[in-house]
């Protein structure tokens, strides 16, 4: 079965870039526009991995990650943070919230794919 | 990639709009916490996208801008006039950088340097003079840096592990020991997951699998700490693993550490390097079994429950406790906002245009069908007629709906203008503000795009010529700050955009004097105030005594007028001395369809736009007057209008000897001048889909465009403005100026 990834980013350019990179790598990609949208789509999407931005309207990446972890069925779902932020404090916050990994934008498609492949079965 | 690039710049426009709205709110003190958050996100997203496309200057500037916004939202800086002004300058420069990047232009280095410095200074002051991380952060997103940034690995690897490699005698379990004969480097990785690791989406098996791809791997699991089955909890967390890797070429410790980059702080990790002697392999072999044996003995009960711990080159399927995925549609994210979802999709404009075209064709087909039906002996009450009536209604509604897709609010356009107001005020040394009314009014996208230039010019004129100098304003009892108002509204099927200033109004004496000097009017001409005001739109007219930096660019209001006319619009100026000036632009809702009068001339079908049409007449010969040079005029309500023989003007036939069998269409141009078009017959008034000619033909004098009729024939659409002889404009391609051309509607 194809690996499904739910990518959450408020920038449509970024969503398109992620989608292009991941689709080219053979993944199935679902997109969401912010944390609320991401949590809404989580059930239907049933992803193998979530990629999320941090700075987003309505519900930011931290809130979104916490929301994902609150669901028992998502307790061990890998969540990658993909953001322009690189501050240690923010990384620690993301980790505490339940993030699996952190990648700084701009991302290199190959590396992103490599990291994903390391995180999904 | 170019699609993505286009998308990025499109998104930038939206983001800049958000930023601009936020700035307006800041200025008007109607902002809240979310305003600054939204502004921050906008600049942040621009920075992010710019990073992806390697737009370094944009990244740098957005970064500095973002820092100030960040300080604002964390209340390190308060909002005051200075900050707001800086934000506006920042916004302007950011827009310039986006534009420059879009067009692949390089802005001069000096551009925006001052703003950038000021932004950085602001951040520095707000953060106690420490702005050190500034450039570092910016560099991290620079285009050259595509490195995956690992979570910082500065933690003490194996810090919780009391035992170093020295305490792990015999543990280099060399894949059973049979192959370690080459004296190669081996890595020994000791790994024990903290329970938290499993709650962060990690799975040791996957880490081992990644490690296994770097060479030949053997794995040993130590389950000695795993509790008996009856009290089994956190079983996987109780297991520690020892992995021995015989690496492929190019694999070093750092590449191994990379695999564990995300589990920092969530595990005990110890990596060591050993070089094994050729002979050591055989000797070590028996030792390798040693640690495994007690495991099996110590926890026999756990053996079935715990993940398999076989030593093999592929990782054991040591699955983290991954719960069965369930349907989770409940949406119990818990953080749901009550904000309504604004669901929109973005569609390629070409697709929309294609749809509009198709609907246009549908409307035409429908008209053809109706026409054919009329020729059949079918009762108007028949089912067929009713169905066709319904089809007509539906296709009408369909057309309207499709047109609405192209419509967008004028807000973006207006916001661009607020910058023009700021810039021109600065240059003219005046203070002024822009007030916007009706920004939500929707207009065809093409129209808003093509309004940028004319509106820019109009606003510069208003600031430069309309608004008085501060001291004159105060003397006149007006507030020192001038007000420019941009207003949009829908009025009787058209969009009306007006620009009002509260300046001195048109100096009519001066305008008249100038127009006489330039020979645009004669001293004896009797002109109303409105006539004089609208002289400003005449080519070559400029009242500025000195060419100013702003509006004296060789383009006059005549250019503005012709641009508006090209959009099928009308422009009009009203002025009240001492109070100000209002310029009103009236535009069709869409450029694709228009209301027209279908007429016939010399066997040809033509369409006259209803916009220009004032009256249709079947005049008696008594009202038509011959003049000595062959021109003819029509007397209507005490005024004399030139008659234009359309068939002759368009070169269809020789001049008619008399107009007794002709219908006359009274048309009025943008200038307010009128003339009468002589045509053979009037067919009906109808909506026509405009088909441009200029793509396939050159622009044809007297013809604006074409349309396809119900019977499939082409009808040309008459350019009415070119059919109105006027003293200033002449009428190119048509008849030469005549005496009658001097007659205007006010005579």
DSSP state for residue B652 in the 8-state scheme: S
pLDDT value, residue B329: 38
Q: Do residues B494 and B397 share a domain?
A: no
pLDDT at B583: 93
Chain A residue at shortest CA distance from B213: A118
Q: Contact B267/B193 with Cβ under 8 angstroms? A: yes
Phi, psi of B219 (to 5 degrees): -125, 135
| Nearest Cα residue to A42 out of A68, A17, A24, A66 | A68
CB contact under 8 A, B332 and A77: no
Q: How buried is residue B124: exposed, middle or buried, by Cβ count under 10 Å (0-12/13-18/19+)?
A: middle
Digit-coded pLDDT (tens) for B575-590: 888 899 999 998 876 6
- β-pairing, B593-601 vs B604-609, is antiparallel
CB contact (8 A) between residue A36 and residue B335: yes
Say how far apart CA B298 and CA B303 lie, in whole Å: 10
Which regions in chain B score pLDDT beneath 50?
131-181, 278-339, 544-554, 728-747
Rounded Cα gap, residues B10 and A13, in angstroms: 9
Closest CA to B222 of B287, B156, B153, B297: B297
Of A43, A59, A91, the CB nearest to B331: A43
How many CB atoms are located within 10 Å of the residue B347 CB?
Answer: 10
Mean pLDDT by groups of 10 residues along chain A of 121 residues: 90 89 91 93 91 91 92 88 84 87 84 86 75
Cα separation, B284 vs B279, in Å, equals 9
Position B233 scores a pLDDT of: 59
How many distinct structural domains can be found in chain B? 5
Q: Are residues B418 and B555 in the same domain?
A: yes
Contact criterion met (CB < 8 Å) for A78 and B202: yes
Residues B81, B230, single domain; the answer is: no
Q: Is residue B146 part of a domain?
A: no
Q: Please indicate if any CB of chain B lies within 8 Å of the CB of A119.
A: yes
Residue B499 pLDDT: 94
Q: Backbone dihedral region of B40: left (phi > 0), alpha (psi from -120 to 50 degrees) or beta? A: alpha
Inter-chain CB proximity B339 and A58 less than 8 Å:
yes
Mutate: best of B47, B140, B201, B329, partner A, most A CBs <10 A: B201
Which one of B542, B563, B588 terminates a domain? B588
Strands B632-636 vs A79-83: parallel, antiparallel or unpaired: unpaired
Question: Does B17 fall in a domain?
Answer: yes
Looking at the domain assignment, is residue B323 inside a domain? Answer: no
A78 touching chain B per CB within 8 A: yes
Which residues have a Cβ under 8 Å from the Cβ of B644 and sit 6 or more positions away? B675, B676, B677, B678, B723, B724, B725, B734, B735
In a domain? residue B240: yes
CB proximity A91 to B under 8 Å: yes
Select the residue of B48, B266, B328 nearest A14 (Cβ to Cβ). B48
Residue of chain A whose Cα is closest to the Cα of B324:
A73
Of A35, A49, A73, the CB nearest to B323: A73
Strand pairing category for B494-501 and B482-491? antiparallel
Interior angle at CA B716, CA B714 and CA B719, nearest 5: 165
User: What string of H, E and C letters represents the secondary structure of B469-523?
Assistant: CHHHHHHCCCCCCEEEEEEEEEECCEEEEEEEECCCCCCHHHHHHHHHHCCCCCC
CB contact under 8 A, A118 and B4: no
Asked whether residue B267 falls in the same domain as residue B296, the answer is: yes
Of B561, B588, B615, the residue that ends a domain is B588
ipTM: 0.81
Any domain includes B581: yes
What was the pLDDT predicted at B238?
Answer: 73
3-class SS at B410? coil
> Are B147 and A44 an interchain contact pair (Cβ–Cβ within 8 Å)?
no
Using alpha carbons, select from B587, B553, B557 the residue that is nearest to residue B570.
B587
Distances (CA, A) of B74 to B36, B41, B63, B71, B405: 10, 14, 16, 5, 40
Interchain contact, B199 vs A103, CB within 8 Å: no
pLDDT score of B231: 62
Instruction: Return the pLDDT at B155.
Output: 32
Assess whether B490 and B515 both reside in one domain.
yes
Same domain, B436 and B538: yes
DSSP letters of B425-457? HHHHT--EEEEEE-TT-EEEHHHHHHHHHHHHH
d(CA B370, CA B362): 12
Do B178 and B261 share a domain, yes or no?
Answer: yes
Please give the Cα distance from B641 to B633 (Å, whole number). Answer: 5
DSSP A93-110: HHHHHT--EEEESSPPHH
Q: Is residue B695 part of a domain?
A: yes
Question: Within a domain: residue B75?
Answer: yes
Question: Is the previous residue joined to A106 through a cis bond, with omega within 30 degrees of 0?
Answer: yes
> Is A108's CB within 8 Å of B147's CB?
yes
Instruction: Estimate to the nearest angstrom the gap between the alpha carbon of B709 and the chain centroid.
Output: 36
Give B430's strand partners: none
Residues B486, B475 share a domain: yes
Number of Cβ within 10 Å of residue B115's Cβ equals 21
Backbone angles phi, psi at B429, to 5 degrees: 65, 30
How would you class B435 by CB atoms within 10 Å of its CB: exposed for 0-12, middle for 13-18, buried for 19 or more?
middle
Which residues form the domain of B446?
410-588
Q: Give pLDDT, residue B182.
A: 53
**DSSP track, B235-256:** TGGG-EEEEEEEEPTT--HHHH
pLDDT at B187: 85
Domain hosting residue A76, numbered range? 4-119
Whether the model pTM is above 0.90:
no
Instruction: Identify whether residues B584 and B599 lie together within a single domain.
Output: no
Name the packing angle between helices A109-119 and B204-212 (round to 10°).
Answer: 120
How far is residue B596's CA from residue B691's CA, in Å, rounded to a whole number? 13
The two tokens of residue B716 are 């040309």
Q: Cα-flanking dihedrals φ and ψ of residue B637, to 5°?
A: 40, 50
Contact A84 B141 (CB under 8 A): yes
Residue of A nearest to B204 (CA): A119
Q: Do B199 and A76 touch (CB under 8 A)?
A: yes
Residues of B in contact with A15 (CB under 8 A): none
Q: For chain A, how many structural domains are there in total?
A: 1
Would residue B35 count as lying in a domain?
yes
- Distance, in angstroms, between B248 CA and closest chain A CA? 18
- The CATH number of the domain holding residue B122 is 1.20.120.160
Give the pLDDT score at B623.
Answer: 78
Considering the domain architecture, whether residues B262 and B119 belong to the same structural domain is answered as no
Burial readout B494-511 (b: 16 or more C-beta within 10 A, e: otherwise): bbbbbbbbbbbbbebeeb
Touching B: A residues 13-72, CB under 8 Å:
13-14, 16-17, 20, 35-37, 39-40, 42-44, 46, 49, 55-59, 63-64, 66-67, 69-72
At residue B308, φ and ψ (nearest 5 deg) are: -60, 150
Last residue of a domain, which of B362, B381, B407?
B407
Residues B431 and B579 in one domain: yes
Shared-domain flag, residues B529 and B581:
yes
* Interface size between A and B, measured as CB pairs under 8 A: 174
């Amino acid at each position: 079965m194809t690996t499904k990834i739910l990518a959450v980013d408020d920038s449509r350019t970024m969503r398109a870039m992620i989608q292009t990179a991941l689709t080219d790598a053979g993944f199935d990609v679902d997109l969401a526009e912010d944390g609320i949208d991401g949590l809404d789509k989580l059930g239907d999407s049933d992803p193998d991995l979530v990629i999320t931005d941090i700075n987003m309207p309505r519900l930011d990446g931290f809130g979104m990650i916490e929301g994902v972890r609150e669901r028992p069925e998502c307790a061990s779902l890998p969540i990658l943070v993909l953001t322009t932020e690189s501050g240690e404090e923010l990384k620690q916050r993301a980790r505490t919230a339940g993030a699996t990994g952190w990648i700084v934008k701009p991302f290199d498609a190959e590396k992103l794919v490599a990291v994903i492949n390391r995180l999904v079965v | 990639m170019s699609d993505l690039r286009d998308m990025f710049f499109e998104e930038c426009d939206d983001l800049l709009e958000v930023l601009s709205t936020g700035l307006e709110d800041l200025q008007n003190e109607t902002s809240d916490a979310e305003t600054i958050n939204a502004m921050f996100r906008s600049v942040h997203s621009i920075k992010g996208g710019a990073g992806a496309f390697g737009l370094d200057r944009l990244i740098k500037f957005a970064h500095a801008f973002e820092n100030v916004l960040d300080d604002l939202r964390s209340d390190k800086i308060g909002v005051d006039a200075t900050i707001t002004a800086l934000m506006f300058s920042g916004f302007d420069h950011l827009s310039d950088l986006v534009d420059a990047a879009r067009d692949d232009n390089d802005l001069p280095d000096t551009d925006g340097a001052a703003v950038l410095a000021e932004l950085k200074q602001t951040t520095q002051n707000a953060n106690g003079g420490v702005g050190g991380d500034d450039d570092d952060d910016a560099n991290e997103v620079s285009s050259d840096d595509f490195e995956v940034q690992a979570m910082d690995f500065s933690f003490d690897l194996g810090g919780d592990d009391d035992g170093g490699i020295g305490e792990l005698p015999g543990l280099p379990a060399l894949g059973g020991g049979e192959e370690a004969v080459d004296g190669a480097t081996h890595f020994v990785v000791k790994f024990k997951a903290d329970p938290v690791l499993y709650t962060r989406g990690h799975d040791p098996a996957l880490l081992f699998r990644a490690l296994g791809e770097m060479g030949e791997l053997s794995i040993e699991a130590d389950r000695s700490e795993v509790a008996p089955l009856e009290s089994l909890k956190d079983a996987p967390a109780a297991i520690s693993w020892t992995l021995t890797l015989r690496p492929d070429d190019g694999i070093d410790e750092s590449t191994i550490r990379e695999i564990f980059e995300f589990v920092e702080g969530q595990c005990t990790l110890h990596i060591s390097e050993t070089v094994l002697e050729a002979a050591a392999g055989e000797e070590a072999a028996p030792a390798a079994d040693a640690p495994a044996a007690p495991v099996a003995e110590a926890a026999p009960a756990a053996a079935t429950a715990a993940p398999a711990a076989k030593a093999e080159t592929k990782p054991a399927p040591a699955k983290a406790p991954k719960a069965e995925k369930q349907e989770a549609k409940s949406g119990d994210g818990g953080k749901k906002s009550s904000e309504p979802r604004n669901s929109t999709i973005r569609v390629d404009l070409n697709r929309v245009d294609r749809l509009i075209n198709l609907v246009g064709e549908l409307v035409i087909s429908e008209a053809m069908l109706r026409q054919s039906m009329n020729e059949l002996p079918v009762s108007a009450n028949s089912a067929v007629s009713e169905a066709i009536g319904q089809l007509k209604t539906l296709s009408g509604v369909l057309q309207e709906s499709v047109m609405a897709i192209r419509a967008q609010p004028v807000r973006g356009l207006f916001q661009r203008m607020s910058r023009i107001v700021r810039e021109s005020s600065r240059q003219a040394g005046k203070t002024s503000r822009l007030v916007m009314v009706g920004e939500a009014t929707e207009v065809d996208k093409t129209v808003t795009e093509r309004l940028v230039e004319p509106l820019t010019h109009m606003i510069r004129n208003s600031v430069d010529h309309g608004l008085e100098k501060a001291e004159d304003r105060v003397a006149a009892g007006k507030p020192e700050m001038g007000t420019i108002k941009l207003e949009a509204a829908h009025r009787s099927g058209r969009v009306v955009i007006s620009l009002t200033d509260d300046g001195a109004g048109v100096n009519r004496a001066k305008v008249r004097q100038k127009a006489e000097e330039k020979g645009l009017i004669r001293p004896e001409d009797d002109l109303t105030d409105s006539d004089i005001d609208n002289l400003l739109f005449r080519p070559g007219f400029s009242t500025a005594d000195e060419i100013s930096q702003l509006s004296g660019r060789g383009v006059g209001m005549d250019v503005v007028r012709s641009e508006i006319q090209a959009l099928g619009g009308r422009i009009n100026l009203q002025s009240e001395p001492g109070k100000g000036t209002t310029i009103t632009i009236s535009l069709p809702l869409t450029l694709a369809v228009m209301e027209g009068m279908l007429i016939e001339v010399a066997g040809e079908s033509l369409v006259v736009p209803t916009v220009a049409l004032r009256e249709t007449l079947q005049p008696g010969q008594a009202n038509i007057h011959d003049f000595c040079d062959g021109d003819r005029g029509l007397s209507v309500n005490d005024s004399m209008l030139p008659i234009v023989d359309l068939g002759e003007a368009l070169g269809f036939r020789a001049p008619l000897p008399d107009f007794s069998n002709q219908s006359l269409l009274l048309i009025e141009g943008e200038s307010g001048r009128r003339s009468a078009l002589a045509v053979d017959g009037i067919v009906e008034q109808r909506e026509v889909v405009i088909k441009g000619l200029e793509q396939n033909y050159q622009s044809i004098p007297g013809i604006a465009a074409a349309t396809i009729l119900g019977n499939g024939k082409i009808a040309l659409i008459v350019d009415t403005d070119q059919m109105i002889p006027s003293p200033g404009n002449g009428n190119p391609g048509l008849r030469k100026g005549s005496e009658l051309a001097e007659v205007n509607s006010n005579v």
